[in-house]
Structure 1
């Protein structure tokens, strides 16, 4: 099962910091997300893009997990020559995580 079957994502980015909020569609799926989508697992998923540990915040009232990723300053949105370095792409990439 892929993560996008249980949740959707909202993202934001400023400089080299990207936040990804993962929101369960159904309340009963939130516990599974908490169990399976750890900071370590997200860090491994994005290991080639980040240069610091991933921080995870749990918001059970919203059925959401919020992840904070730190990219190298050379990969920040305002400094990158990449076609699309925005967090939107990373949120979509996270939804492809195999559970």
Structure 2
């Protein structure tokens, strides 16, 4: 398994294509403003069927990938969890789509 990284607005189409090709995959939305801040955690979503990803706030509706909120994507949820744990960064799963961490 590999983690695909989408880190700026130029990656928008690749990110959207990845989600279409991997509907059973997972997206880690990273808070780069302060990744260790527990109030605004890094959030893991299901790649398909998550209203948080499908309908982002108006301010970012046309910008699903930004420098402030890069995305890490994988078909293996545990791979994304390991990435966060290896970097000692807090994370949570989305309250809307509820991916289950083993």
Structure with the larger strand share: 1
**TM-score normalised by L of structure 1:** 0.28
Decide which structure has the larger Cα Rg and report it: 1
Q: Which has the higher helix share?
A: 1
